[in-house]
Chain A
Amino acid sequence: MRRTVLSATALACTAVLAGTVPAFADGTTPSPVPSTTRSAEPSAVPSEAPSAEPTRAASPVPTRDSRQVAAVPAGAPDTGVAEPSSDSGTEGALIGGGAAAVLAAGMAVYAVRRRATRA
């Protein structure tokens, strides 16, 4: 009878130990800690670095290097023509008057010479 009791107790202790060892192994194994740190670090670093830098570098470059106005004109635009009609009118009158005077002088010379030849 004592053997039976002792064997049963030994079986129970064995069962307890067998149950507790996996529990310790599950609770104390360092597998969750390294797995989280290893999986988090490599994925965060590469995804941030390449995506952030090209967008920052690319946006200012085209606006500074290529001008929005392809050819910048020289000087100020001349977008106002004042009324030149009065000036050009006086100049035309002078030219016309001069031509008429020359023509009248020529006619007078011609008339005087013709009278002289008749006389």
Chain B
Amino acid sequence: MTPLSRRAFVTAATGSLLAGCAGRAPERTAPAAHRRAAPSPSSPSSRSTAASGTPIALGRSVPVRLRIPAIGVDTPLLRLGLAADGTVQVPPVTAHDRAGWYRYSPAPGQTGPSVILGHVTVGAYGDGVFRRLAELRRGEQAVARLENGRSAVFTVDEVRTVAKAAFPTQDVYGDVDRPELRLITCGGPRGGDGYLDNVIVFASLTGTTTGTTP
């Protein structure tokens, strides 16, 4: 082996060794970077989406009018409170009587049972504003117009005739998890003091509109 060939061999061996050692370093670091990045997306960011199909509740605004097209009701609404004996006030017995909203209940469109009452008959004046309430059927609509111009559209879920002696207080006034409406009048057979039953319509919010409705 000549000196020139020895130098060439040593130089080539050194170069190849250095090149071999230096070339592996970036290959090792790249997978490490992927491993660090991989677990992070599976952490808690996906919990934020919750229930999206719940009915849209409205803010509190006093109802001023009630329409029930199926039974021809279109009435202004009074505000009713409590009588001295703890019973709910009812609208006055007059000709062309009106229905009334119980003001200690949620406004129509708010979450909770909004209560509206009307007479079935008004003595010598004949039929009351809720004379045909018992004719309502499941799926028919009642629209409450609010003071702020919006309207809450309710769809009837159930029409119940109950004895006054067994009035379902919890079903009518108890808490619920969505905007609902109760329409109450009298019904059933007449006794010495008047009607023996109550007719109660249970409805739930199915839509809202802005502005005045025809």
Contacts and interface: CB of A to CB of B under 8 A. Distances in A.
A67 B120 CA distance: 29
The prevalent SS among residues of A at the interface is helix
B160 interface: no
* Among A11, A20, A27, A73, residue most surrounded by chain B Cβ atoms (within 10 Å): A73
The prevalent SS among residues of B at the interface is mixed
A23 to B, nearest CB: 6
A23 B14 contact: no
B108 interface: no
Contacts of A12: 10, 13-14, 17
A83 interface: yes
A18 B114 CA distance: 84
A107 interface: no
B21 A23 contact: yes
* Among A5, A47, A71, A76, residue most surrounded by chain B Cβ atoms (within 10 Å): A76
Interface stretch (B67-75, B79-87, B135-143, B144-152): B79-87
Nearest to A11: B14
Contacts of A68: 105-106, 110-113, 175-176
B124 A15 contact: no
B43 to A, nearest CB: 6
B33 to A, nearest CB: 9
B118 A79 contact: yes
B155 interface: no
Interface of A: 1, 4-5, 8-9, 11-12, 15-16, 19-20, 22-23, 26-27, 32, 36, 40, 44, 47-48, 52, 63-64, 67-85
Nearest 10 A/B pairs, CB to CB: A80-B186, A68-B112, A12-B14, A76-B167, A73-B88, A19-B21, A74-B86, A76-B164, A81-B123, A80-B195
24 contacts: A4-B3, A8-B7, A15-B14, A15-B17, A16-B14, A19-B17, A32-B32, A40-B39, A63-B175, A63-B177, A68-B110, A69-B115, A69-B173, A70-B105, A72-B173, A73-B173, A75-B87, A76-B165, A77-B88, A79-B117, A79-B184, A80-B195, A82-B121, A82-B190
